[in-house]
Structure 1
């Protein structure tokens, strides 16, 4: 099963997406967007930048856990990972985004009622 982008509408009326790996785990989360079209553009940006050299930056939180951000060519962050216990786990997360994002299908759930 390939990865997929899940696009949702938040309770405050904004949009955000998650990139899910083939096992269903969230591997990248976007910021919130005011417009649906902007969120779709964000997904396209993830697809394009996921394989670009230097697009990922691994960081360490104040608690010592690692996470990564995916940046567009202009330096803007277009997605962030969860927290990982080790640097190597964060590196594997970057690789998972590289492998899943380019061909991931879009599952648009933004028209569904917000619970």
Structure 2
């Protein structure tokens, strides 16, 4: 089972990482100035991860594949790591879909 790890950045902002069952980070959030906004981001991932159209599949300038999860308002909720292949990126998307809805919360903030 996956989990959301909520932490504080050195600048005081809150962020979360969604980890797969194996402990690997599969999605990283932006920084949030308040804990409430960070919690809302987690809920947005739970909801939007179940809609394939919310995953914006990208290729970086160095030919690495990655994705952004987009909210209904068009804002990026989270970004993946860089993957060596499109297939690996697509596996990452499937992992977010599988892990996000029931992921526990590990509060380290």
TM-score (ref. length: structure 2): 0.98
2:52 match: secondary structure: coil
Show structure 1 runs of 4+ deviating over 6 A: none
Cα deviation for residue 53 of structure 1 reads 3.3
Greater helix fraction, Structure 1 or Structure 2: 2
TM-score (ref. length: structure 1): 0.93
RMSD value over aligned CA atoms? 0.6
Instruction: Give the equivalent residue in structure 1 for 2:12.
Output: 13
Runs of 5+ consecutive residues of structure 1 not aligned to the other structure = 111-115
Q: Deviations over 1:44-95 (max 9, x none)?
A: 0000000013010110000000000000111111000000000010000000
Q: Deviations over 1:14-52 (max 9, x none)?
A: 100000000000000000000011000000000000001
Instruction: Give the equivalent residue in structure 2 for 1:88.
Output: 87
Runs of 5+ consecutive residues of structure 2 not aligned to the other structure = none
Q: Which of 1 and 2 has greater Rg?
A: 1
1:107 match: secondary structure: strand
